[in-house]
């Protein structure tokens, strides 16, 4: 969290059940208000207005995600890795992160960004390290879980620490770990809105990373932002988590967003007490979104009454926050953030076959495809299809029988021997017992190292989402963008450095006007272009 001076306790703080009827600032709203106070609030202010983000009813799938799928061990492991207790793996070698200070572009800061990016990649979130260039103080790691709409929900936290002597376990390995664990448990779900999991850099230098992000994405449709900053401290064991917001305006509904999180907390009966504060503090990355009139809140431990007294010091370690009271609070806040994100993105009903993962590995001249289903209904099986890169002409190369009806996970594997070296795309065509078919996303692999930059896109024409595969002969900076007929950049699909090989990205084109566009890949080794037709 950025530097700030804690304000003196106010004598006019009021407890109310509804932010829209509070006439004093700051105000607190908790889910444990006695019924008599709620009744008085109704008499004083009238009935509560409809929340901009809708109502909350517990969803069994989200409930299972934050209970059965959720892992405190994984959450703690991320904190330990980011704060130097456990090593991370960078380019195949173990590396320890004693700090993540962004000033002067420290190697530890860059290693932390690479580690987070690699985790997002394992989760299939097509990570991008934006602004990954000198002076290395603004790196933002962005993982994307595509939804049906281009409009997106942001779950974020900053990953840099305050100074070179600060491990930053609570500030803010804790908030970053919340984002990473939420990404892990939500990645297998489908949503109406896209979700962006973002680890911002340079927050301790004055929100540099998030300020640059909102500058570059000012035209994006951003539905809501939940910023997690310092979520692992509850010394007085009152379970209070603060939600800092600002009053609603025509353009943004941050107060409604705070209320929405409180409603999520109540719907899932989480052991945490939400306290909404308006006007909230601006000393973290949510304020960058306030600056462009987007709905955003800060989720944080009690910053005034029970703030971590190891803040910004060498004692901000996991050990000093490892007591059961702190970890129980940490777990509850993480579940709240994940559940709220899922509700804001509006989880969709699952397809007959819920595909949890689809990956490809190369062994010599052969390709091994592996995929996993969480559940299957009337699943006859999977046709495996291959297309030579950059062609989009897929042909069947094999069939794998499905499990029919099953509520248990199933693992599948298929080995293919492409006819020659080169780059190939693969996809699955799943078939139900009634003949209904559905396609998986496409993935690309390189049999041999690519020698020139190249591009492919499926489907083409595209109406909603398009899968893009591109080859990078060398590591280093590369930019992949969509250009309209007048040569204007319509979207940046990828920017920053990456290793050599074949990469993939999913892009939502539903917000682009109907027409012809050009995909352009620019690398130090050359460039490639591919026409993209958008239809609606």
* pLDDT tens by residue, 227-261: 999 999 999 999 999 999 999 999 999 999 999 99
Q: Using the predicted structure, report yes or no on whether residue 365 has a pLDDT greater than 70.
A: yes
Average pLDDT over residues 13-27: 32
pLDDT in tens, 488-504: 888 888 766 656 666 76
Q: For residue 255, give the 3-state DSSP assignment.
A: helix
Cβ pair 472, 441 in contact under 8 A: no
Q: Using the predicted structure, report yes or no on whether residue 35 has a pLDDT greater than 90.
A: no
Average pLDDT over residues 383-399: 85
In 181-287, DSSP assigns E strands to 193-200, 222-228, 240-244, 273-277
In 294-336, DSSP assigns E strands to 296-301
Cis peptide bond prior to 285, omega within 30° of 0:
no
Q: Report how far residue 534's alpha carbon sits from residue 536's, in angstroms, rounded to the nearest whole number.
A: 7
Cβ pair 495, 489 in contact under 8 A: no
Q: What is the pLDDT of residue 502?
A: 66
Q: Give the residue from 459, 463, 502 showing the smallest Cα distance to 480.
A: 502
Place of tokens 């319509």: 490
Q: Give the residue from 296, 170, 159, 151 showing the smallest Cα distance to 225.
A: 296
Rg (CA), the chain: 24
Better pLDDT: 504 or 197:
197
CA angle 468, 474, 477 (to 5 degrees): 70
Q: What is the pLDDT of residue 235?
A: 96
Q: What is the pLDDT of residue 15?
A: 31
Q: Give the residue from 233, 187, 211 showing the smallest Cα distance to 65.
A: 187
Q: Could you tell me which CATH number the domain at 55-233+285-295+306-345 has?
A: 3.40.630.10
The CATH fold of domain 449-536: Immunoglobulin-like (2.60.40)
What percentage of the chain carries pLDDT values higher than 90?
Answer: 55
Better pLDDT: 2 or 430:
430
Better pLDDT: 80 or 3:
80
What burial class does residue 435 get, using C-beta atoms within 10 Å of its C-beta: 0-12 exposed, 13-18 middle, 19+ buried? exposed
Q: Report how far residue 9's alpha carbon sits from residue 429's, in angstroms, rounded to the nearest whole number.
A: 61
Average pLDDT, rounded, for the chain: 85
What are all long-range contacts of 83-90, with beta carbons under 8 Å and residues at least 24 apart? 83/167, 83/168, 83/169, 83/173, 83/316, 83/317, 83/318, 84/167, 85/317, 85/318, 88/112, 88/115, 89/115, 89/118, 90/114, 90/115
H or E segment and range at residue 260:
helix 254-267
Task: Tell me if 351-447 shares its fold with 449-536.
Answer: yes
Model-wide pTM > 0.75: no
Average pLDDT over residues 493-518: 75
Is 351-447 in CATH node 2.60.40.10? yes
Average pLDDT over residues 415-430: 86
Q: Report how far residue 169's alpha carbon sits from residue 79's, in angstroms, rounded to the nearest whole number.
A: 6
Q: What is the pLDDT of residue 77?
A: 97
- State both tokens at 32: 């444990």
Eight-state DSSP code of residue 459:
S
Cβ pair 151, 219 in contact under 8 A: no
Q: Where are the domains of the chain?
A: 55-233+285-295+306-345, 351-447, 449-536
pLDDT band of residue 411 (cuts 50, 70, 90) is: very high
């Amino acid at each position: 969290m950025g530097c700030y001076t804690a304000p003196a306790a106010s004598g006019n703080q009021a407890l109310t059940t509804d932010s829209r009827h509070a006439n004093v600032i700051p105000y607190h709203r908790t889910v444990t208000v006695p019924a008599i106070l709620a009744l008085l609030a109704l008499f004083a202010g009238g009935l509560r207005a409809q929340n901009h983000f809708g109502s909350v009813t517990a969803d069994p799938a989200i409930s299972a995600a934050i209970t059965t799928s959720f892992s405190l061990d994984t959450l703690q492991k991320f904190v330990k890795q980011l704060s130097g207790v456990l090593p991370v793996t960078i380019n195949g070698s173990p590396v320890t992160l004693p700090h993540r200070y962004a000033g002067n572009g420290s190697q530890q800061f860059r290693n932390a960004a690479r580690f987070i990016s690699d985790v997002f990649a394992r989760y299939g979130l097509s990570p991008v390290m934006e602004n990954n260039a000198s002076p290395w103080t603004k790196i933002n790691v962005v993982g994307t879980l595509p939804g049906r709409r281009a409009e997106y929900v942001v779950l974020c936290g900053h990953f840099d620490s305050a100074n070179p002597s600060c491990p930053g376990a609570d500030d803010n390995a804790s908030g970053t770990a919340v984002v990473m664990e939420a990404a892990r448990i939500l990645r297998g779900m489908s949503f109406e809105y896209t979700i962006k999991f973002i680890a911002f850099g340079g927050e301790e230098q004055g929100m540099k990373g998030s300020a640059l992000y909102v500058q570059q994405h000012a035209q994006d449709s951003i539905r809501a932002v939940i910023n997690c900053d310092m979520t692992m401290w509850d010394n007085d064991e009152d379970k209070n988590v603060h939600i800092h917001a600002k009053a609603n305006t025509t353009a943004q509904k941050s107060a409604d967003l705070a209320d929405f999180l409180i409603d999520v907390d109540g719907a899932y009966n989480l052991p945490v007490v939400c306290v909404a504060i308006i006007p909230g503090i601006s000393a973290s990355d949510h304020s960058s979104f306030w600056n462009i009139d987007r709905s955003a809140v800060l989720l944080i431990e009690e910053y005034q009454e029970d703030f971590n007294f190891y803040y910004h010091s060498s004692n901000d370690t996991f050990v000093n926050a490892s007591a059961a009271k702190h970890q129980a609070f940490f777990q509850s806040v993480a579940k709240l953030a994940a559940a709220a994100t899922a509700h804001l993105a509006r989880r969709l009903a699952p397809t007959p076959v819920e595909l949890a993962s689809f990956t490809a590995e190369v062994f010599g001249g052969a390709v091994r495809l592996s995929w996993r289903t969480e559940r299957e209904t009337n699943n006859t099986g999977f046709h495996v299809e291959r297309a030579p890169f950059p062609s989009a002409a897929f042909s069947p190369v094999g069939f794998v029988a499905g499990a029919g009806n099953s509520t248990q996970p199933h693992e599948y594997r298929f080995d293919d021997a492409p006819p020659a070296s080169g780059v190939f795309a693969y996809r699955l065509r799943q078939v139900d017992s009634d003949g209904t078919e559905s396609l998986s996303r496409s993935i690309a692999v390189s049999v041999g190292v690519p020698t020139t930059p190249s591009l492919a896109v499926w489907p083409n024409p595209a109406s909603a989402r398009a899968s893009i595969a591109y080859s990078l002969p060398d590591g280093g900076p590369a930019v992949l963008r969509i250009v309209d007929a007048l040569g204007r950049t319509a979207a940046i699909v990828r920017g920053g450095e990456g290793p050599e090989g074949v990469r993939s990205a999913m892009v939502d084109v539903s917000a682009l006007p109907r027409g012809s566009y050009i995909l352009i890949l620019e690398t130090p080794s050359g460039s490639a272009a591919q026409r993209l037709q958008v239809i609606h």
